[in-house]
Amino acid sequence: MSRSALPDDEPREECGVLAVATQGGDAARLGFFGLYALQHRGQEAAGIAVSDGRAVRIHKDQGLVSQVFKPGTLDPLVGSLAIGHTRYSTTGSNSERNVQPYVVETMHGPLALAHNGNLTNADRLRQKLLERGAGLQSSSDSEVLALMLAAAEGDSWEDRLARTMPEWEGAFCLVILSGTKVVVARDPWGFRPLSVGKLPTGGYVAASETGALQTVGCTDIREVKPGEIVVLQSGLARSYQAMEPKTNQARCTFEHIYFSRPDATWDGLSVHQARQNLGEELAREHPAEADVVIPVPDSSMPAAIGFANVSGIPYNEGFVKNRYIG
């Protein structure tokens, strides 16, 4: 199923990615809580891949994070390195074969990959892989990324990633797991958010939103720069600029409007404050005669507060979510 075949009445451009590098064997459990904090970014499927330094194990399925990871599911996922993903359909349909992370065997050992974004040249890259004899099992552009990396040349996964990134056009925030390290990267346009933080125990976590990092106890949180690669390994974090950031950055406005949690910070801005500012500006540019300002929960609440503050029209609730049915 192509991107163009997806319905146009639903936002399908967001996913949540997460990477964990700890100094213990609880990376999957931290990954679970991190994904739970990213549940709003994708409610179709979830998965976690873990490495103990020898083998990569994975559990993934369709459904919410709490449905995919039931009691006992995390027990076999032992290791100090992990990546996770929670999914909305972007390129590729909502089917079991498109659930991430993807795990492939390579001449350099196992490789797991999860992706938030949408490649604009995915069809051309996919055709090149097929012409070279590669076997594709899904319709997702994320599998294309994994197979291109598996075939890339270089002395390390970060080297192979740096060599391959210039071939990708469009949005990509990547988390990559090998037997001994986690590698994260962001496209040079800066389309999607990705941040990294330090755990109190000395490990590191990277995630799509800062709120997920705070949930697992991270401090020293910073945004991964556009075009940057960050390597997380054995309590150490190394980073370098693989591609120069594009002069015209293309950060997704909808992250501030709708996608991100209100407690997130991205591009130096509080998402909650950005939404309130938008509501204030809306009241200035398009004043309205009304008795009450009513938000449609939840993402429009700060905007409604801002509109009410500037317009003088009282704020009140008119729609209430049932928060107890899941």
Residues catalogued as catalytic: 15
Determine the residue type at 289. Answer: E
Bridge partners of 232, per DSSP, are 182, 237
Residue 159: half-sphere exposure toward Cβ, Cα within 13 Å:
5
CB 132 within 8 A of CB 174: no
d(CA 85, CA 273): 27
List, in order, residues 6 or more apart from 289 with CB less than 8 Å away: none
